[in-house]
Amino acid sequence: MEFTKMHGLGNDFLVFYGEEDLPERVSELAIAWCNRYFGVGGDGLVFILPSEKADFRMRIINSDGTEAEQCGNAIRCVSKYVYDHGYTDKDRITIETLGAGVQRVSLQIEDGVVRTVRVDMGEPILDGLAVPTTLEGNPVLARPIEADGRRFEFTAVSMGNPHCVIYVDDAPNFDLGVWGPKLEVHPYFPRKINVEFATVTSRERVEMRVWERGAGPTLACGTGACATLVSSVLNGLTDRAAWIGLKGGDLFIEWDEQDNHVYMTGPAETVYKGNIEI
């Protein structure tokens, strides 16, 4: 199978095009191929598939073999891939996702190459049981949570996949590897959860680090950036448009007051192409 290695701010994937559906044993393949020592290396596999509802369909298999409902960095990579490879000549396309339905994408093109992608990420889900958490509330805002004797407060947001946003004093230097895996599997979260640790530096900027469900620490998370902006607005910490600073770079996130949709703008990059045997 031919793949293209791509990344969105360092959140990297093996992207496949031309299959009708997921290959057999895809979970095993993801674990093997995403291994950074014995495989290609990546945070997940992304398959661009035919869709009856949209221009393209996207499915994402995490590096641990589980399937993700949505991924903001992956959808930007998919958008760049299909345009740069000539599978569409439109600068506005639609992509079907597993957890967030059909999403609209605007491509910002320079010299025939996609430079940045703006994605309509849809409306955030704030009802606690729908995120899902085991807690009632709409929203679940600044709710206490304890892990291994330490107490945090979190806000729950779904962007088609579940997120738990926690504010800390110094997100860039926070001990992500200790607390991320403990909170990911907390009993409050029946389908596990993505954990964002955030520090607000101004009304227009938040520094964030992420522990992704099924992948661990990654350099960026698009849906996590969206969830962080929504959480920050709900907690009165930022304006409705702000830069989210991730380890791999910045994303610009807007939560539109008119249509209640969240919009994400950021880059996607192609690294190299290769072939791999099943």
Find out whether 62 is annotated in a ligand binding site. Answer: yes
- Residue 165 belongs to a domain: yes
Q: Which two tokens stand for residue 90?
A: 């439109």
The parent domain of residue 249 ranges over 143-260
- Residue 94 belongs to a domain: yes
- Residue 54 belongs to a domain: yes
Q: What is the pLDDT of residue 278?
A: 85
3-state secondary structure of 40: coil
Which stretches in the chain have pLDDT values below 70? none
Find out whether 213 is annotated in a ligand binding site. Answer: yes
Contact between 82 and 48 (Cβ < 8 Å): yes
pLDDT in tens, 64-118: 999 999 999 999 999 999 999 999 999 999 999 999 999 999 999 999 999 999 9
Find out whether 72 is annotated in a ligand binding site. Answer: yes
218/43 Cα distance (integer angstroms): 7
Contact between 223 and 99 (Cβ < 8 Å): no
Find out whether 260 is annotated in a ligand binding site. Answer: no
> What secondary structure letter does DSSP report for 34?
T
Q: What is the pLDDT of residue 162?
A: 97
Are 159 and 256 within one domain? yes
For the entire predicted model, the pTM comes to 0.94
The CA-atom distances, in angstroms, between 167 and each of 101, 122, 210, 274 are 29, 24, 12, 40
Are 107 and 147 within one domain? no
Q: What is the pLDDT of residue 276?
A: 95
Find out whether 11 is annotated in a ligand binding site. Answer: yes
Are 80 and 100 within one domain? yes
Residues labelled as active-site residues = 71, 221
- Residue 184 belongs to a domain: yes
27/273 Cα distance (integer angstroms): 22
Contact between 62 and 44 (Cβ < 8 Å): yes
Q: What is the pLDDT of residue 1?
A: 95
Task: Give the count of domains, the chain.
Answer: 2
124/136 Cα distance (integer angstroms): 16
Find out whether 223 is annotated in a ligand binding site. Answer: yes
Find out whether 137 is annotated in a ligand binding site. Answer: no
Exposed e or buried b per residue across 168-186, where buried means at least 16 C-beta atoms within 10 angstroms of its C-beta? beebeebebeebbeebbeb
188/191 Cα distance (integer angstroms): 9
Find out whether 245 is annotated in a ligand binding site. Answer: no
Are 158 and 213 within one domain? yes
- CATH code where residue 186 lies: 3.10.310.10
232/219 Cα distance (integer angstroms): 20
